[in-house]
Chains A and B, each alone.
Chain A
Amino acid sequence: MPGRDEKNNPGFRLIDRRGFLKGAALGLMSMALPHRSDASFWEGFFQKHFREMNSEEIREVIKRLEKEYKEKYKVDFNIKTTKPLPGVLFGYGLDISRCIGCRRCVYACVKENNQSRDPQIHWITVLRFRKGEKWVSNLEEADKYYYPDRVPEEGYFYVPVQCQQCENPPCVKVCPTQATWKERDGIVVIDYNWCIGCRYCMAACPYGARRFNWGEPRIRREEINPNVHYLGNRPRYRGVVEKCTFCIQRTREGRYPACVEICPVGARKFGNLLDPKSEIRYCIEKKRVFRLKEDLNTFPKFYYFFAI
């Protein structure tokens, strides 16, 4: 008799359809999740959104990350979460009548912001155009692999492109997890712990400014910059998107971005758009400025100008 077996054997239980499905779902879920037992992993997995955390919760996250980075990179990191300064909206100016295309900015950015050396990631791309040719609408066809013996070359000009920090950023609109957003000082930031790597933002960005970590980022230990910001240059993970943040870790403390300080011809200008006495306001008011792809209504805060 079937009834007797059920009663005598405690290990045997008739499973109904609902119970079976419940169990199957739980089992599959546990298979899908990585088999990790350390608490730090699960704390990271269930971490709240950065803007919903209070200062106590943020402090705990920072403590956890500093420990993780110490184990991974054998370097003591100082992770800051400096807030936006009140009354500040960052703007950037780039004088293309002076830029000589030497790429010092590209590698100063790599150094400051801990980009992966292999697989290689650059946040700045310098485009080369032939003088006198139609170019503003043809950014994709520009040459970014030029490598002559000496720059500047006769008959060419150079346009460095990086994140334009749009006031109306299309990348933010498409993010399905709200892992990227615009801060009050106008910087578009990414939370690498919330990014799921879907790369919608990269498809949405009209400037090609975002980069994806296809592999585990690798940097020589002695070249790591340990002074980092949570929303900026802290080490990234495989499978997350990154981009220029106007050196958030420096500029929120009043310093210039790394690319501004390295530029040998002083073509890069930076400042507060809300301060009428700032360098960037002087550029906008006194020089012939334009922004890339203005017709898309992204309202970039990155102004190109001709000083000559």
Chain B
Amino acid sequence: MIKKIHITCLLFLLLATSLMILEGPVTAEDAGDELVEFPVPPPPFSEGIFPCSNCHAGMEVNTTKRELEFHQNIKLKHFDGWCFDCHNPDDRDTLRLASGKVISFKESEFLCGQCHGTIFRDWKAGVHGKRTGMWNGRKEYRLCVHCHWPHAPRFKPIKPLPPPVRPDDIKYRKLRPEEIPSNPLEEILRGEKR
């Protein structure tokens, strides 16, 4: 009787280990740097611009560096490069790394990370850039391009919110409910929602 139990136990153990071995290589591959996925919202395309193939599909590819007739809003202020250092001339709906590897717009962080390695490292650790979500759970990342416009990545200066009231200006007075000052942030948040 006892022997039988032992044998069934052994059989189960064997089965379990074989399953683990079968699953093993898959997870090992996933742990590779290139395959790690970060939870990011969709890329911030200007309205109606994507997919690029809507216009580019029938066009001939011109790989010479030149002033563009279309895309007038783009004045490249990044490095001394041009379109096809990042965009893929063979398929405009994708991007292309220096290695020749084609990636989608949804994982453009690998493209930026080619030059900005230390910042990419900080970004992966959650230290460069903004994180929302849970500090002890699922974090929401943002692509580099959510904050930095890739064609001119430097931040534009913004208007600050008002300073605190100086002690001399504090006056306690009777206020009707509608006279209580509103939080100046509310206005900005309303503007962003619109």
Interface residues of A (CB under 8 A from B): 85, 88, 93, 100-104, 106-108, 110-111, 117-120, 122, 125, 144-152, 214-215, 218-221, 223, 251, 254-256, 260-266, 269-272, 275, 278-279, 282-283, 286-287, 307
Contact = CB atoms under 8 A, between A and B. Distances in A.
B164 A120 contact: yes
Given A100-B155, A146-B160, A307-B127, 7 more contacts: A103-B163, A107-B185, A120-B165, A150-B159, A262-B185, A270-B135, A283-B127
Interface stretch (B8-16, B29-37, B55-63, B175-183): B175-183
Contacts of B186: 111, 223
B130 to A, nearest CB: 4
A66 to B, nearest CB: 21
A266 B130 contact: yes
Contacts of B165: 120
B128 A266 contact: yes
B183 A263 contact: no
A286 B125 CA distance: 11
* Closest 3 pairs (CB-CB, A-B): A266-B130, A107-B185, A150-B157
B191 interface: no
Contacts of B122: 286, 307
Report which residue of B131, B137, B170 has the largest number of chain A beta carbons within 10 angstroms of its beta carbon.
Answer: B131
A102 B186 CA distance: 15
Contact of A117 (B137, B155, B170, B183): B183
Contacts of A270: 135
Nearest to B138: A254
A279 B125 contact: yes
Interface string B160-194: 11111110001010010100111111101000000
A258 to B, nearest CB: 10
B68 interface: no
Contacts of B182: 117, 220, 223
Interface residues of B, number: 38
B147 interface: yes
A272 B188 CA distance: 31
Main SS of chain B's interface residues?
loop
A33 B137 CA distance: 50
Contact of A122 (B147, B157, B164): B164
B183 A120 contact: no
A161 to B, nearest CB: 12
A111 B183 contact: yes
Given A152-B157, A266-B147, A117 B136 contact: no
A210 B188 CA distance: 27
10 contacts: A108-B185, A145-B166, A146-B160, A150-B158, A255-B134, A261-B130, A265-B155, A270-B135, A282-B126, A307-B128
A2 B157 CA distance: 93
Contacts of A110: 183, 185
Contacts of A125: 164
B129 interface: yes
B163 A145 contact: yes
Contacts of B160: 101-103, 146-148, 150-151
B166 to A, nearest CB: 6
A265 B132 CA distance: 13
Contacts of B128: 266, 307
Contact of B136 (A151, A254, A286): A254
Contacts of A255: 133-135
Contacts of B172: 119, 214-215
Given A107-B183, A145-B166, A256 B132 contact: yes
A301 to B, nearest CB: 14
B135 A271 contact: yes
